[in-house]
Amino acid sequence: MDVHRELQDLASDVISKTAFGSNYEEGKRVFSLQDKQKHLVFDAIGNVYIPGFRFLPTKKNRERWRIERETREAIRNLIKTNSRARENSRNLLSLLMSSCKNQDGKEEKLGVEEIINECKAFYFAGKESMADLLTWALLLLAQHQEWQDKAREEVLSVCRGDEVLLSEKVNDLKIMNLIIHETLRLYPPAVMLMRQATKNVKLGTLDVPAGTQFFLALPSIHHDTDTWGKDANEFKPLRFNEPRNHLASFFPFGLGPRTCVGKNLAIMEAKVALAMILRRYSFVVSPTYLHAPRLLISMQPQYGAQLLLRRITS
């Protein structure tokens, strides 16, 4: 089974329900459009930068513009269609649509276009990043059976029998937490973070003027042997039981005030999904699997992630 495809559907359904109170079918159009858009964006990133080129009516630019229009219209229709049913809900969309008080005590609301921009980001991050994280975690556990056994033993001790994994018990999954963090280190879903200096700063001996843009390559930092040791490329979850020498040696969700707002949801979702799979199935890597990570906005298995699963009966 190619678990990557299955996990994309799972992640799509989860983000649709938790963030927007809808289901996968309602958001299917948005996911389909964003999937097409990511391929066009990745192609554009790989081209030589020519100022103003993105405004020219080339074939690919026109296609990007069309997809952008359709995506915004699809989300706008979701907002209009479901706003009445969501008035008493507490999901992301209802919170975005509700008013809040500014510093002067006056009520303010986000405009529709602002809400659409936020929804686009959540739709993409909630599907792609989560599906990639779960895929790499399952592959690593399939390759390292001893850690799969440890994780399953922990899950069964926390959730006995068919007991539902309640939110208050998620924090008891300590081994699972180590596995997820090591997976994020080896295969960070977001491989590049962009930041801009807001003022003149000095980094060591380097003077950085305001306005300088930084492109932070997470795989390079997460695999740095000076920071992580000679075994930096190996799967060793126990390394996260040891204190890190530098805060910025590991930041799959970013750092500081601009840390990903979905970080806690992502970790909880990953724990719950992996726990549900581990308590029901054991799995190994299929002989048909070809290890070929590729960058397509996020880090994905180029030819899928084929696993052989066996249902646990006892």
Alpha-carbon distances, residue 187 vs 39, 88, 246 (angstroms): 20, 39, 19
Burial class (CB in 10 A: 0-12, 13-18, 19+), 24: middle
Furthest-apart CA atoms within the chain: distance in Å = 63
Q: Under DSSP, is residue 83 helix (H, G, I), strand (E, B) or coil?
A: coil
Phi and psi torsions of 147, nearest 5°: -80, -30
CA 161 to CA 176: how far, in whole Å?
19
74 to 69, 129, 226: CA distances (angstroms): 9, 22, 47
107 DSSP β-pair partners: 101
- Rounded Cα gap, residues 272 and 137, in angstroms: 13
Angle of the 24-45 helix axis to the 112-124 helix axis, nearest 10: 80
Residue 260 is labelled as binding a ligand: yes
C-alpha span between 106 and 102 (Å, rounded): 6
Angle, CA 100 vertex, CA 94 and CA 106 arms, to 5°: 150
CA dist 60 to 29, 44, 71, 195, 307, Å?
20, 9, 16, 27, 36
d(CA 239, CA 57): 51
Binding positions: 260
Binding positions for heme: 260
